[in-house]
Amino acid sequence: MKDRRVVITGLGVVSPIANGREAYWQALKEGKNGVGAITCFDASEFSVQVGAEVKDFDPTQWLPKKEAKRSDRVIQFAVAASDMAMEDAGLKAEDLDSNRFGVYIGSGQGGIETCFDSFQTMMTKGPKRVSPFFIPMMIGNMSAAYVAIRHQAKGPNMCVVTACATSIHSIGEATRTIERGDADVMLCGGTEVALRSICVAGFAAMKALSTRNDEPERASRPFDKDRDGFVIGEGAGVLVLETLESAKARGAHIYGEVVGYGSTCDAGHITAPDPEGKGAIRAMKIAMDQAGWSVDQVDLINAHGTSTPLNDKVESIAIRNLFGESTDRVMVNSTKSMIGHCLGAAGALETVAALQSVEEGIVHPTLNLDQKDPDCDVNVITETTEAKVDRFLVNSFGFGGHNGVLAIQRFSD
């Protein structure tokens, strides 16, 4: 049911290559690589020593010093990206009906650093030394809560947790919320700070991460024959969605219109995707069917493209099986080649990138594709490319078989 059209009017970014929409997009166009040696903890004894860290982030730019100390970094990222998105949209909370203004910001890991540090405190100093702020700093929904309090958003509020599909599901569900009339404006997306010792140790134990420690800038290599795992990134991406009526009434700049959203589950394995990509195919098809698109109308797919051997192969199979002869025409890129895999924030950051391609007619490159894997038989863009982009998909697939796909198009009356 699509009773109301939903458009995107604001974009906020915290990322390993730049913060803010304009700087982030400029870095993507230039092929700036945000992957390097891990510095946020001593990784010298870890098998994995590479990551994509957010640099030059001062939480007191967004929060009072006392409040910053009482909030996990994952919350700080969400607040910053939301403030940027609101400013980019030209929106002020006092001008909105607070009861019709909602927040859907998810996180795959939540305040994992706070959780780990507080556990260490309890074990070494005893339970009485655990901070009373531990729970509100740690629980996953608090990013959405902080943002709602900050902007007095009293409408629908939710924290989606679907691993790497989190922020695509957040945007998709926010779209549905506006379409059915439960809100007029939504802040939505994802935030993640999983580049911490316990997470790196866990993902490394699964053999999911790249161990290219001697060449960190070449570690994230989606679709390349020599890829050996993903690189953990961190950051936040937040979008402002609103009704077309609202956007037009205030003369807002419209980046694009959300016209389709596919959500499926493989229901097959706790970590591995369906080997034939059936869930991914269904999610893409659902999004395209809702949009009313045929396969020859899609210009760009911002791929999940994690740089893991299995994911890239299966996603390629899914794209070719769905798109058929159009596969050789549709452009595919992976933002993760530059910012690593930002887990619950990945899909939102990638949606921002694809929207900027619509804006400027430029598709950002996929780095480190030296020799394409024959099993990844898709049209991966490896150079900054001028191309008209009217319609695109963003793919996000998470552990547990969660699949999320957005279909977004250039706005037209």
Q: Residue for token digits 């959203």?
A: 261
The DSSP code sequence of 150-200 is HHT--S-EE----GGGHHHHHHHHHHHHHHTTS-SEEEEEEEE---SHHHH
Question: Residue 164 catalytic?
Answer: yes
The sign of the dihedral angle between the CA atoms of 334, 339, 343, 347 is negative
Residues 337, 198, 79, 408, CA torsion sign: positive
> How many Å apart are CA 350 and CA 265, to the nearest integer?
21
The DSSP-derived string for 33-64 is ---EE--SS--TTSS--EEB---S--GGGTS-
Do residues 101 and 153 make contact, with C-beta atoms less than 8 angstroms apart? yes
3-state DSSP percent of the chain in helix, strand and coil, to 5: 40, 20, 40
Q: Are residues 288 and 260 in contact, defined by beta-carbon separation less than 8 angstroms?
A: yes
Measured CA to CA, the distance from residue 183 to residue 100 in angstroms comes to 4
159, 164, 342, 376: the active-site residue = 164
Active site residues: 164
